[in-house]
Amino acid sequence: MSIICTEENRCLTVHIQGELDHHRARELMTQLDREINCALPRKLELDLSGLTFTDSSGIALLLRTYRNVQELGGTMCVRNTPQQAKKVFWAAGLQHIIPFEGV
């Protein structure tokens, strides 16, 4: 599990790569928190094209990240969600809370 970040004009893009489960979630959340607190993004784009697996740990992680960004006055969207992740997130109704692009 790793993340790659790029930032331009306080638009932070984060690529999440690898498998996301309880084993990896805490470290990932710490990394994401650090990036968000450092960039204070007006907009956060989470790119999930490299996410090869997620379970419900990903649901909590997305919701928490969404709240964090909102508290800082920013917006967030999720892009390139793979089929497996989509099925997990949709089971929780995340599409009604967080904007997903291109699904």
Partner 1 sequence: MKLDNYTVLEFPSRSANEGFARTVAACFAAQLDPTLEEINDIKTAVSEAVTNAIVHGYPDRIGKISMKLRIKEDRVLEIIIRDWGTGIADVAQARVPMFTTGGEERSGMGFTIMESFMDNLKVRSELGKGTTVTMKRRIACRVCK
Ligand X SMILES: Nc1ncnc2c1ncn2[C@@H]1O[C@H](COP(=O)(O)OP(=O)(O)OP(=O)(O)O)[C@@H](O)[C@H]1O
Residues in touch with ligand X (CB under 6 A): 56-57
Q: Which is nearer to partner 1, 10 or 26 (CB)?
A: 26
Q: How far is the CB of 25 from partner 1 (least distance, A)?
A: 7
How far apart, in whole angstroms, are the C-alpha atoms of residue 52 and residue 36? 23
- Determine the size of the site formed for partner 1 (CB under 8 A): 21
State the sign of the Cα–Cα–Cα–Cα dihedral 25, 73, 7, 97: positive
Judged by CB under 8 A, the stretch of 6-14, 34-42, 54-62, 71-79 that binds partner 1 is 54-62
Angle at the Cα of 11 from the Cα atoms of 50 and 42, rounded to 5 degrees: 125
Residue 64 touches partner 1, criterion: CB under 8 A? yes
What residue type is assigned to position 92 of the chain? A
Bridge-based pairing state of the strands 43-47 and 11-20: parallel
Binding-site ranges for partner 1 (CB under 8 A): 19, 21-23, 25-26, 29, 53, 55-57, 59-60, 63-64, 83-84, 87-88, 91-92
